[in-house]
A and B are shown apart, each in its own frame.
Chain A
Amino acid sequence: MKELYGFLFAMWILILVGGAIVVTILGPIAITGFGELDWLVTSAIQGGIAVSLVIIWIFILLKIKNWIFKKEIKS
């Protein structure tokens, strides 16, 4: 059971770290030079970065899961 609490806590820390990245990197992005399409280009880039962050988040979580639950998963 300790492992589950550890995994929960690791997920929470990842959410906090992810939040910091989103606020400091994703939020300030503002692309100009495309006229009326500025908002669309900005949103597309923000979307791309957000999806990449989610994929990285899942990848890290998979690694943590394998590390924390290696005994349980094998049993």
Chain B
Amino acid sequence: MTELIIPAIVSCIVAFLTVYLSTPFLIKYLQKQNQTVQDVNKPGNIMIPRPGGPSIIAGILLSELVLYAFLQLNEILAVMITSFLAFLIGYVDDKRVLSGWFKPIALAIAATPIIFLGAYDSSLAFPIFGDVQIPVLYLGIIILMIPITGNTINSIDVLNGVASGFMTIASFSLSIALFILQNYEMAIVSLPLGLVSLAFYKYHKNPSKIFPGDSGALALGAMYGAIAIVGQIEIIAAVALLPAVINSFLFLASMKKVVEHREIKGKPVEHTDDFKLKATADETAPITLVRIILAGGPLTEKQVGFHIFKLGVFSGILAIITAILVGVSL
């Protein structure tokens, strides 16, 4: 355990500083290249640079490289390659509009390095009742996990700071769970995700100076999914991600098909005169987490984000309780 302290500290510093220091340069570069999109939840025509994915992936790769230099684990390579492939898929999607099915299929392919590097264990750990060995079925879980976590994080990237803020909460919950389960190596591998998300949140929070784009959101989501697999905490990871899972679930249940946000005609949310967010009565619009939160009445963008963070903390606590229950056996 003590030999892991230095790698942990160095990788955390590298993760945080890489994103914290590189993002202002990326913002200037994107502004110069006119790579900006309108912030639709702000009055006027405010243009925000996008994507912030390059600084996010730089933070992930550099910090995990530091860890690999110390630990030489295939699990670290699997996390790095999967996150990078997800970043590339998102970057293509940032540049051109792709079909709703492209990302899930491409992300499933991005999960294959975990299999080829053998960075997984085919048992699934459940709370209280113990483990179950499912060698063949587990390959399917790996292939499904990365598209689910990637798209789930991407789908909550709808308001200033929500994706990076929520990911900070969820990934630190994951790290705490790994420490509880005494999987110290994987706990250290997971720490950079929280610090990368936290450093990016500094620029992404309301009012945003940069948006992560699909490249940033998919890189964060894929890294989260990869850590869940290599750390053997798939169920705990799913619990920590529940608010975002609810968003995807409500969306799919109302739309009844996989569809890109850009292809949806009905608007789930509109603005009041003082530019607060308000749920619409549009029946063609998807039901989303934000729409449900706004059912109680109009709120500012910051207030909605804060509600999502509170849900994130609640599910994070449930994830930690789940980790404790995994250690309990009947």
Which A residues are within 8 Å of any B CB, using their own CB? 1, 3-5, 7-9, 11-12, 15-16, 19-20, 22-24, 26-27, 39-40, 43, 46-47, 50, 61-62, 65, 69, 71-73, 75
Contact = CB atoms under 8 A, between A and B. Distances in A.
**Residues of B contacting A: mostly:** helix
A46 B16 CA distance: 43
Given A5-B311, A47-B137, 12 more contacts: A1-B293, A4-B289, A11-B246, A12-B242, A12-B315, A19-B127, A19-B129, A26-B134, A65-B250, A72-B295, A73-B287, A75-B295
B292 to A, nearest CB: 5
A16 B127 contact: yes
A8 B311 contact: yes
Given A11-B245, A72-B295, A24 B135 contact: no
A16 B128 contact: yes
Contact of B131 (A3, A12, A23, A72): A23
A4 B242 CA distance: 11
Interface in B200-252: 235, 238-239, 242-243, 245-246, 249-250
**Residues of A contacting B: mostly:** helix
A61 B128 contact: no
B132 interface: yes
Nearest to A73: B287
Interface of B: 124, 126-137, 140, 235, 238-239, 242-243, 245-246, 249-250, 253, 279, 281, 287, 289, 292-293, 295-296, 307, 311, 314-315, 318, 322, 325
B125 to A, nearest CB: 9
A36 to B, nearest CB: 14
Contacts of A22: 124, 126, 132
A27 B132 contact: yes
A73 B287 CA distance: 8
Nearest to A19: B126
Nearest to A69: B292
A50 to B, nearest CB: 6
A46 B127 CA distance: 20
